[in-house]
A and B are shown apart, each in its own frame.
Chain A
């Protein structure tokens, strides 16, 4: 990916294509142009967060400061299998059927 926005350079079609691949979006050729322009503007605007000098500021990942919220190790009922599979596009042998998988991703 080109080093966009941070230094004022631009989001390219190739950048959008890369992001779309990571996000599993089969974007069209037209969208590559539209999104490149829009992402460029938006990322340029949000890069403002960098203006705040924040070396000593802790990042806030959770709005409410809580810790150690756990459940006991107890079995609770699972869903009936019929309702598990009811929404699936394709089912075979009580499993979710998916098209051939290209390659191990991890």
Chain B
């Protein structure tokens, strides 16, 4: 690890803007780090050395020409492979898209490029973002930099591991039921799921359209906020994009870092804790609540009785939508084609291709969704799940009447061992217990490191009302300022 790879994005951007370090050097340092450690981490599916160097050179040239650079110009970033990048492989972790090079850029890809951010490559993920461990990738698992035998969380595990392993100071994740927050928690970094609609979904390969939301990862709250401001904003190509000013998240992160939460009411959600949670996770969480109190916050307990139905509702809504979203992978216009031997019908070729191209978790969810949307079952499953969504949103509304933010552990567990839960879907699904309510309600939530349990990171989740993402950042920054920074033990990646 070099000096450059250990710096924050804000520090790097400052040095680049001041001309003290060239963006090219920063890119090279990170590419070298990737070459050094990614063999054991496997955060990346594709490293775009050429593209990264070209982007870095462009930033250096613009600076030399006297252009005013954006606040993250020249800073490297790792992109989750679910985000479409023109001309660069985009697989969503699936065999069915192996070799596909999209003819267009996602809106956030465009925004990142326009900001002068240097994209290093595409990161590993659970296939089509379905999973909590990155073990569902068709290209092999990613390893947690804290302990290579453990999972880095998921589905954005490649992006969380890349940042935790100092391969990139910034990365992009997507969060449908917790896929930014849980990986952030178990790799000891910061990850934010913005308010649904804050960040354009155009060019995000859809898993569950009404839940998917892209967001930033970084090692500090400020860096996360800086990237958030690059990503967020109205996009006319996404009908669900919010057409309103982006909350002042960078300002909130800076103000929060002053460490004063006086006057802030923090609600502890009674239902997100207790039985089923690891003791070490609960201990870290309780300590975190005390830290918030010490920062001046008023701690209140709130009850959200319908959160207990979030898991059931989520595992109906997400599979239902995915069964429809993934229908387009049909061996006609792009991607894999299997069984086209001149004798098989198109129907056969479609079925053989999808059978060969999708992994077991994807197939499982497609079938659950197909079932839940079937006539005769719709009302009892999908329809009822959407009503539960309303009830969860109402629980939030009531809770935000009593508190400005809500807190919980991000995940009931620390990182578990690779292979430990692959055969038990339900055991995997309960990873999402704490993150699902905000996903279903469309509200923002951040995960910030809150210490270690048995040497592994624990995350604190801070939830805010819709479009009050700045509150997440303010509280997270205050908390960050009050606790010791954690980093993966030296030696793991030596």
Which residues from chain A sit less than 8 Å from chain B, CB to CB? 1, 6, 15-16, 19-28, 31, 34-35, 38-39, 41-43, 45-52, 54, 57-64, 66, 69, 71, 79-80, 83-84, 86-90, 96, 98-102
Q: Are B370 and A61 in contact (CB under 8 A)?
A: no
Listed by A's residue number, 7 A-B pairs whose Cβ atoms lie within 8 Å are A23-B370, A25-B358, A42-B315, A42-B426, A63-B196, A63-B442, A99-B345
| Given A16-B367, A19-B371: A100 touches B351 (CB 8 Å cut-off) | no
| Given A57-B390, A71-B236, A89-B340: A6 touches B101 (CB 8 Å cut-off) | no
Nearest residue (CB) in B for A20 is B367
| Given A47-B312, A63-B442: A86 touches B383 (CB 8 Å cut-off) | no
A-B pair count, CB < 8 Å, reads 191
Q: Are A23 and B323 in contact (CB under 8 A)?
A: yes
Residue B398 CB within 8 A of the other chain: no
Which residues of the other chain, B, contact A63 by a CB distance below 8 angstroms?
Answer: 196-197, 210-211, 240, 440-442, 466
Report A8 CB to chain B, min CB distance, Å: 13
| CB-contacts of B452-480 with A (<8 A) | 466
Report B223 CB to chain A, min CB distance, Å: 27
Nearest residue (CB) in B for A69 is B239
Complex CA–CA separation, A85 to B337 (angstroms): 15
Which residues of the other chain, B, contact A48 by a CB distance below 8 angstroms?
Answer: 309, 312
Complex CA–CA separation, A24 to B236 (angstroms): 33
Q: Are A39 and B371 in contact (CB under 8 A)?
A: yes
Q: Are A49 and B384 in contact (CB under 8 A)?
A: yes
B101, B336, B425: the one within 8 Å of A42 (CB): B425
Residue B366 CB within 8 A of the other chain: yes
Residue B354 CB within 8 A of the other chain: yes
Given A47-B312, A54-B384, 4 more A-B residue pairs with CB atoms under 8 Å apart are A19-B371, A25-B358, A42-B315, A99-B342
Complex CA–CA separation, A48 to B366 (angstroms): 20
Q: Are A43 and B306 in contact (CB under 8 A)?
A: no
| Given A48-B312, A96-B333: A60 touches B101 (CB 8 Å cut-off) | no
Q: Are A58 and B210 in contact (CB under 8 A)?
A: no
Interface flags for B325-350 (1: CB within 8 Å of A; 0: not) read 00100111111110010101111111
Report B416 CB to chain A, min CB distance, Å: 20
Report B99 CB to chain A, min CB distance, Å: 8
Residue B393 CB within 8 A of the other chain: yes
Which residues of the other chain, A, contact B425 by a CB distance below 8 angstroms?
Answer: 38, 41-42
Complex CA–CA separation, A100 to B349 (angstroms): 10
Q: Are A60 and B389 in contact (CB under 8 A)?
A: yes
Q: Are B196 and A25 in contact (CB under 8 A)?
A: no
Complex CA–CA separation, A102 to B103 (angstroms): 31
Q: Are A19 and B370 in contact (CB under 8 A)?
A: yes
| Given A88-B334, A89-B340: A52 touches B386 (CB 8 Å cut-off) | no
Nearest residue (CB) in B for A103 is B347
Q: Are B312 and A1 in contact (CB under 8 A)?
A: no
Q: Are B367 and A25 in contact (CB under 8 A)?
A: yes
Q: Are A54 and B387 in contact (CB under 8 A)?
A: yes
| Given A24-B347, A42-B425, A100-B345: A64 touches B383 (CB 8 Å cut-off) | no
A49, A62, A84: the one within 8 Å of B388 (CB): A49
Interface flags for B179-217 (1: CB within 8 Å of A; 0: not) read 000000000000000011100000000000011000000
Report B433 CB to chain A, min CB distance, Å: 13
Nearest residue (CB) in A for B356 is A26
Nearest residue (CB) in B for A58 is B390
Q: Are B370 and A100 in contact (CB under 8 A)?
A: no
Complex CA–CA separation, A66 to B350 (angstroms): 36
| Given A25-B363, A49-B388, A61-B210: A79 touches B351 (CB 8 Å cut-off) | no
Residue B352 CB within 8 A of the other chain: yes
Interface flags for B3-40 (1: CB within 8 Å of A; 0: not) read 00000000000000000000000000000000000000
Which residues of the other chain, B, contact A90 by a CB distance below 8 angstroms?
Answer: 337, 340
| Given A88-B333, A90-B340: A59 touches B386 (CB 8 Å cut-off) | yes
Which residues of the other chain, A, contact B347 by a CB distance below 8 angstroms?
Answer: 24, 101-102
